[in-house]
A and B are shown apart, each in its own frame.
Chain A
C-alpha cells in the first residue's frame, strides 16, 4: 500500500464544479439576489462542504494516529488537510487559547480569480463570500469528524484572502 501512486484530479474541474454549485444554489440572476437568499444559499453551500469535509477527513487520517488535543486537530486541518485539497497550507493560524482559532488563507484559488464585471460590482463581495462558504464547511466537517463541535464564520477582506474564525464549543 505504501507505494500506491498519488491520485490526481484536475484542479479546474474542481473549481468549475464549485462555481456551478454556487450558481445552482443562488439561482440564475446573481445581480439582484437579496440578503435573505444569500444567507439561505450560504447555509446550503456550507452544508455541502460539511458533508465533504467529514468524509475527506476520515479518508486523510486513515494512516495517522489519534489527536490528543483540539489544537492538534486544527493544526492537521491547516497543514495536511488543506494541502490535500488546495495544494497549499493555511497561511496564518492564530488562537486566543480559549477555543477561538483564526485561520487565514491569503490566496484561495477561487477567490483569487474573482474579478467582477462592472454591473456586478455592487454585491460582488457578498457573492465572493459564497465561494469561501464551501471551505468553511470543509473545516467544520473535518472538525466534527474528530468530535469537535464548532462554528465557523468567514470574513473576506482584500479579495484573494479570506479568514475563517473557528469557535469551538466546549462539549467534550
Chain B
C-alpha cells in the first residue's frame, strides 16, 4: 500500500498539518487545494447526511480509479485525511491511532503546543513519519 498524503484540518477548516509521501504528481497550489479539500469534505458530509436512508453514520472513505481518500473526524471536529492508493483496506483504525496515540500524546499533552496552531513540533512529525512507514 502506498500512502500519498496526510491532511489534518481543525474545526474551522484551517489546515494544521500537511505532508506528502511518494506523490507522483506534485501538489501545485497547496493553499487552494487545501481549501478545495475542506470544502469537498464539508459538502460531502452534508450530502451523506441528507441522502442517508437512516439517521446516524457518516462516510469514511471514497475512491476514484486512481486513489482512495480515507476520512476520520473526531468529536472535537478535527479531520484526518489520508490519501492512499487503491490497495488500502479499511483505514479507520490507523487514522484513529494517529489521533489517539500521536495527536493526543504528542500535541495535546505537549506544554509547548497551543491548540489550533500549525503543527511543526519535531516529536509529532517524527512519530507520524514512523507510523506511516510502518503501515
Give residues in A with beta carbon < 8 Å to B. 12, 15, 19, 22, 30, 110, 113-120, 124, 127-128, 131
Q: How far is the CB of A19 from chain B (nearest CB, A)?
A: 5
- The 5 listed contacts between A and B (C-beta, < 8 Å) are A12-B109, A113-B106, A114-B112, A116-B121, A124-B112
CA–CA, A156 to B124, complex, Å? 21
Q: B113 contacts the other chain (Cβ, under 8 Å)? A: yes
When the two chains form the complex, which single residue of B111, B119, B123 contacts A22, counting CB atoms closer than 8 Å?
Answer: B111
When the two chains form the complex, which single residue of B109, B117, B118, B122 contacts A113, counting CB atoms closer than 8 Å?
Answer: B109
Q: How far is the CB of B23 from chain A (nearest CB, A)?
A: 23
Report whether B123 and A115 are in contact in the complex, using a CB–CB cutoff of 8 Å: yes
Give residues in B with beta carbon < 8 Å to A. 105-106, 109-113, 117-124
When the two chains form the complex, which single residue of A113, A120, A131 contacts B105, counting CB atoms closer than 8 Å?
Answer: A113
Report whether B118 and A115 are in contact in the complex, using a CB–CB cutoff of 8 Å: no
Across-interface contacts of A127 in B (CB, < 8 A): 111-112
When the two chains form the complex, which single residue of A22, A110, A117, A128 contacts B121, counting CB atoms closer than 8 Å?
Answer: A117
Which residue of chain B is the closest to A18 with respect to CB atoms?
A: B111
Across-interface contacts of A131 in B (CB, < 8 A): 111
For the complex, would chain A's binding face be called helix, strand, loop or mixed by DSSP majority?
helix
CA–CA, A30 to B113, complex, Å? 11
Q: How far is the CB of B128 from chain A (nearest CB, A)?
A: 12
CA–CA, A117 to B118, complex, Å? 8
Q: How far is the CB of A118 from chain B (nearest CB, A)?
A: 4
CA–CA, A19 to B106, complex, Å? 14
Report whether B111 and A110 are in contact in the complex, using a CB–CB cutoff of 8 Å: yes
Report whether A115 and B121 are in contact in the complex, using a CB–CB cutoff of 8 Å: yes
CA–CA, A114 to B110, complex, Å? 5
Which residue of chain A is the closest to B106 with respect to CB atoms?
A: A115
CA–CA, A117 to B109, complex, Å? 14
Seed contacts A115-B124, A117-B121; 18 additional CB < 8 Å A-B pairs: A110-B111, A113-B105, A113-B106, A113-B111, A113-B123, A114-B111, A115-B106, A115-B110, A115-B112, A115-B121, A115-B123, A116-B112, A116-B122, A117-B117, A117-B118, A117-B119, A127-B112, A128-B112
- Identify the interface centre among A22, A117, A119, A127: most chain B CB within 10 Å of its CB: A117
CA–CA, A18 to B75, complex, Å? 25
CA–CA, A48 to B105, complex, Å? 26
Which residue of chain B is the closest to A16 with respect to CB atoms?
A: B109
CA–CA, A154 to B118, complex, Å? 31
- Identify the interface centre among B110, B111, B120: most chain A CB within 10 Å of its CB: B111
When the two chains form the complex, which single residue of A19, A22, A119 contacts B120, counting CB atoms closer than 8 Å?
Answer: A119
Report whether B117 and A19 are in contact in the complex, using a CB–CB cutoff of 8 Å: no
Q: How far is the CB of A29 from chain B (nearest CB, A)?
A: 11
The 9 A-B pairs at the shortest CB distance, nearest first, are namely: A115-B123, A118-B120, A117-B120, A115-B121, A19-B111, A116-B112, A113-B110, A113-B109, A117-B121
Across-interface contacts of B111 in A (CB, < 8 A): 19, 22, 110, 113-114, 127-128, 131
